Amino acid sequence: MSQSLVSQMPVGQRVGVIADIPATELTDEDRRFIAQPELSGLIFFARNYQSPQQLAKLCADIRAERPDLLLCVDQEGGRVQRFREGYPRLPPMLTLEAIFHQDEARAIGLAREQGWLMAWEVRRQGVHLSFAPVLDIERDISRVIGDRAFGHSAEVVITLASAFVEGMSEAGMAAVGKHFPGHGAVEADSHKDLPVDERSEQALDYDLRPFAELMDRRLLAGIMPAHVVYPAVDAEHTAGFSRRWLQDILRQQLQYNGVIFSDDLTMAGAASVGSYAQRAQAAMDAGADALVVCNNTDGAQQVIDQVRLQCQQGWQHLDLQYLQGSMEQLDSDESERRAQSVRRVLETL
């Protein structure tokens, strides 16, 4: 599944927007908003969720309006799990590292099963994609990564994240690695500040290893860069606004040809670029394909308007429908039995 999803990324100058809606059901205003062709997907938050049944109806209503939209969420586990009531509580990824050091095979199996369960649970309600896995290396510094990471070394992150992605793929979900080239070595939270990672290129190369390895294995259909400045490589721009990072390193050096999703353009780490239109243009100029903008309806509209201008100048609409995957056989008896077994195991972690 992952290999076929990765291989279908369209080439050329294409751009789209991933935005959100305010509540648990569609309004007429929402319908007008999502009808805009510049929109390639929607991302859900806790405010969009009440129960699995409500979520399934919301997804069905959106598909009735725009069946091509990619429906997304951040459902990593631990602190970052938008859908909670009616869903199993997924342990944070760092829980697996301690198990790994005691029983490597068991940790790998748990990572695969947790990736499968996470993906299966949301996909059977109609959500296509969770922005996962986190490929940052934890160093007990970052205020935003922490136990979201799989481990404190590249080797552990590569091993456990690969298994997690394989589980996601078994449930028909593509994987998006974040936060390229690595957010774990800076304290500041890019949601609130503009982090600067002062390390050398050699040190940054170590953080790149999980991204490079999973890309080399064709496990990643998407990459999300960090709103972090790395002066050793580009002193002027965060990775998400840097042609050096996205074009020279990601596209050319690492030969990545999947989707580049911007991190949320409303974050403080993006604000230094200027207005929402300026942020959108800077991300496009750097090489981002899908512009993610959340929690600000006016800002999202400004991003959409800027993308519309770009498309009028010859760029094409980014169609992410191919990342939806097949929704068949998600409710089979075998899958339900597997889910019950995995839930019981995860409750003991």
Instruction: List the CATH number of the domain containing 200.
Output: 3.20.20.300
* Mean pLDDT value across residues 64-86: 96
Give me the chain's average pLDDT, please: 93
- What is the number of other CB atoms lying within 10 angstroms of the CB of residue 129? 29
* Mean pLDDT value across residues 296-320: 95
- Cβ atoms of residues 196 and 228 within 8 Å: yes
Q: Residue 256's pLDDT is what?
A: 96
Give the position of tokens 């404190």: 152
Provide the 8-state DSSP code for 70: E
Q: Residue 1's pLDDT is what?
A: 42
Q: What's the pLDDT band for 326 if we cut at 50, 70, 90? A: confident
Number of domains in the chain: 1
* Mean pLDDT value across residues 88-100: 96
Q: Residue 223's pLDDT is what?
A: 98
Q: Residue 320's pLDDT is what?
A: 97
- Does 263 participate in catalysis according to the annotation? yes
6, pLDDT greater than 70: no
Provide the 8-state DSSP code for 73: E
Among residues 74, 197, 263, 289, the one annotated as catalytic is 263
Distance set, CA 348 to CA 84, 89, 120, 344 (Å) = 18, 11, 20, 7
- Cβ atoms of residues 322 and 8 within 8 Å: yes
- Cβ atoms of residues 162 and 108 within 8 Å: no
Tens-place pLDDT, residues 186-241:
987 767 778 899 999 999 999 999 999 999 999 999 999 998 999 999 999 999 99
The torsion of the CA quartet 44, 141, 245, 235, rounded to 10 degrees, works out to 120
Question: Which helix (H) or strand (E) is 129 found in, with range?
Answer: strand 129-130
Report the alpha-carbon distance of residue 8 to residue 13 in Å, rounded: 15
For 232, the domain range is: 2-346
- Cβ atoms of residues 257 and 9 within 8 Å: yes
Say whether the peptide bond before residue 133 is cis (omega within 30 degrees of 0): yes
Tens-place pLDDT, residues 226-251:
989 999 999 999 999 999 999 999 99
Among residues 61, 191, 285, 319, the one annotated as catalytic is 191
Tokens for 170, please give them.
């078994």
9, pLDDT greater than 80: no
Phi, psi of 146 (to 5 degrees): 55, -130
* Torsion sign across C-alpha atoms 88, 49, 299, 280: positive
* Torsion sign across C-alpha atoms 114, 127, 56, 327: negative
